[in-house]
Amino acid sequence: MKKILFSLVVLAAMMTGVRPVQACTSVIVSGHVTKDGRPLIFKNRDTSTLHNLTIVVQGSRYRYIGLVNAEDTAPINVWGGHNEAGFGIINTAAYNLNGDGGDTDGDGILIRKALELCATLEDFERLLDTMNKPREVNSNFAVLDAQGGCAYYETGNYDYVKFDVNDPNVASEGYLMRTNFGTTGNHKLDQGVERYCAITDFMAEACKEGNLEHDYLITSISRYLKHGVTKLDMYDFMPESENDTQYFPFGDYIARYSTASVILVQGVRPDESPLNTVSWTIIGWPLTTVAIPLVLTSSGKLPAIVTDDGTGHSWLNEKGLQLKQRVFSLESGNTTSYGDLSQLFNKQGTGILQQIQPVEKEVINRGEEALEKLRKNTKNAKDIEAYYDWVDAYVVERYRELFSIE
């Protein structure tokens, strides 16, 4: 018999109130505290546009890899990525920086312009300084460059404040986090406080365990299923089997129904080529899709499964959405925010997340091997392109075997 965890109904009611759809969670990490010396910027993207994909674009100055909405491949807006100069950028909407919680229409446009024009943090600051005001932005922009620079910019219509993660007076542990408020904004308008509590708990533990690393963060943050306020952890309600249906409210966790993709830009050390910058991406709902590293090559090739497959969508994104529907199978009213835990994980190990994690591990291991060859010699880009071909074949084959989806 299907079960809903009724003891959580009050919590669900709290979480299904009015919330901004763009409920992103982000982290930045200094290269001073990562084991390989490379800075990191991470974003769990929440949006009403659940069809995402990646593109390579020749901008007015620099070529870049961008994360975009599937219908916006021109593009007008970009929601994260990096360029050939080693500049990377992501954002989280901050609903309190302009005093009224509005003006986010220009956020994606600013990210696109920055990827086209900027090589350094100084370039980004110059772009902010010279934009027409009001900027029509209301975001925490996270930026890194090939010189080791890494910072947040809490940016509103007229002002911005920089938070340098390399400054121990600003980031004592070498990392910073943002959700949907700026620390310099009107705190009566704060959003995403519950997720800020969750990412604070997660990063404290990761720091303690020495896990401030790209592979751990990209595979773990968006699958952290412990609530920041109540401390309820979905894994504590592990169903017996995939037939032991148990619904749980997903409203204010880091991964939500509205999570559409994940990106972690891994920068380079100052002695490395900017072309070694990597955008680790999870295209689609992160509990049903896998992380894949993306770098720029001269041909502009990317894995076919994360780009437009000819239908205007990404194969991996669409298959992830099909699997997500098995989790969110309720269709009436607020029940649509309840996910069936048994389809994600269970004590028999047959959940979707449990089955994709070994696939992802192989994708990451093979990707690290190709990236190491590239770092030794940027002429080894052919190994990256061969890796992309392998990823396409391997992931499609494994998803068909595991989930019987075409």
- The pLDDT of residue 9 is above 60: no
Q: Residue length, the chain?
A: 406
CB of 8 within 8 A of CB of 249? yes
Banded pLDDT at 20 (limits 50, 70, 90): low
- % of residues, the chain, pLDDT over 70: 94
Q: pLDDT of 230-274, one tens digit each? A: 999 999 999 999 999 999 999 899 999 999 999 999 999 999 999
> Both tokens of residue 23?
């409920």
* Average pLDDT over all residues of the chain: 93
> Both tokens of residue 27?
């982290």
CB of 212 within 8 A of CB of 206? yes
- The pLDDT of residue 293 is above 70: yes
Spell out the domain ranges in the chain: 3-403
Mean of pLDDT values over 389-405: 97
Phi, psi of 152 (to 5 degrees): -95, 145
Q: pLDDT of 321-352, one tens digit each? A: 999 999 999 988 778 889 999 999 999 999 99
CATH for 3-403 is 3.60.60.10
Give pTM, 2 decimals.
0.95
Instruction: Give Cα separations from 232 to 13, 207, 226, 236 (angstroms).
Output: 15, 22, 6, 8
Q: pLDDT of 162-219, one tens digit each? A: 999 999 999 999 999 999 999 999 999 999 999 999 999 999 999 999 999 999 999 9
Q: Please give the Cα distance from 97 to 78 (Å, whole number).
A: 21
Task: Give me the helix-helix angle, 352-376 and 381-403, nearest 10°.
Answer: 170
